[in-house]
Structure 1
Amino acid sequence: MSSDLGRLLPMTVVMGAMTTGCWVADFGYVDVDPGYYPEPDPGVCGASSPGLVPSGRLQTGQVSIDYTGGKVAVSSVHKVDVDAIEDGCMSQLELTVSLAQGQCPLKLVFKGSNGSYGGLVEARLTADSACPGFLDAVEGLYSSPAVGFAPWRYVGPQVVSERMASAVCLRTVRFTFPDGPLRLYRSSPSAAELTVNLSGLEIQGELPSKGNPEAKCFDSSSCGPGFHNGGDGWCVYEDKCSPGYRLSLDGTCVP
């Protein structure tokens, strides 16, 4: 691949602790750890189910990844409870979107993180030599912070209407995502960051969900006690800030 610096994505090298566990081999491919993809469809939607299908683009700086015609692996869990006010809430949603041959996998996990508070707890984009537009210098595994979460939800089904369902298939669902910057971090072969925007991505189809009486409903309206905005939208511990931000005298994180 070309090493023309003028064609590289704009990026900021971030010093300090980053997420761990990834590496880039000399030939440019990122080692994707086992468990990157969710468990297969539990079968509740039937063998003929079209599953979920992606469309639209993920914007990453000057490069956009078009997932139209790609595939989606999904794992969904809802709460089973005798009390109607808690029964059926979507407790965890894990989506892995990729191109048709599995390239450029983007993993998104929504669930509780700080007691009853939560949201997007994990985001990972594997941008290696099989991912169009990413040159050698910017290839890598870009991840959300090791500790923290973004207090927002996808736009889509939030509850299962069937009472105390052990398993259910939600027909004709549609997922979209908030319009805003999301900072992801690379730790190897050097520390770097990449800002992505999920608003151009859409997922439609049929969603299988498993019920679990131990599942928890979560509130994505704020960071919750003990956490605050790290400066870039990620919730971090109150005495910490996101990379590139510092604590001000009033306890907020500023550039």
Structure 2
Amino acid sequence: MFPKPIQKRSTATGIAYRVAVPVVLLLWLLPLIAVFLTSIRSLADINAGNYWGMPSQLSLIENYAAVFQQTPMLRYLINSLVITIPAVAGAIALATIAGFALAKYRFRGNILLFALFVGGNFVPFQILMVPVRTFSLHLGLYDTYWALILFHMAFQSGFCVFFMRNFIAELPDDLLEVARTEGVGEFKIFIYIILPLVRPALAALSVLIFTYVWNDYFWALVLVQSDSVRPVTTALQTLQGHFTASWQLVSAAAIIAALPPVALFFAMQRHFVAGLTLGATKG
């Protein structure tokens, strides 16, 4: 039913696998390498048409320093953190509570409620542009941090509930029953039993949702317009002039904007992998 491990396949398959992996990896990294090389080129090198070759003059420190000196890049990074951290924390907190209720309690409408959370993931978010923008204007949230924070919390809750409910459902009910017979309340069961056991899942989900919210461009463009609130994704377009673009600065800013999700992944890599593989094997 499942494919054989690569170690158990034929020699030809193993050789093809070892050749294909570096080739595919290089193709995937090629655009990133091109952006990085552009970020360390001098303006004269770009004007000379040297786009793919090695830079004739390295301007690593100059370009990356110019991003912070000539643009409010630090302000944009802070804006993204102010938006992303509360949105991720709120979505995961609500999803963990809802996932616990949907996984371990039997009540009328349980399946229907869970289906609503799952069904929300299939709604194309583009069709929500007009109602969400209108709603934010009427509530006075437009062009504020709260517009993006609340929207991302609401929009990410569907996937987060689906993710957490399935993990919590795998936990044995005997643990909860033993705690209840000892007189432990439901809130303490959630805090002291459920949360420690789903910590790998929380780490994996945090990395996924942080990356999505941090990299969001569409809703940042729809709900924000001033530089005081603008996150780093939409701020990159402000580095492009009307007639010319400082591509070395744009590329350097893009590399800087990509660093926080990458750093978070490597910081939580062990928990991330454990969270994704939790329950994949039996005992």
- More helix as a share of residues: 2
Larger-gyration structure (1/2): 2
TM-score range, shorter chain: under 0.3
- More strand as a share of residues: 1
Instruction: Indicate the structure whose relative CO is greater, using CA pairs within 8 Å and at least 6 residues apart.
Output: 2
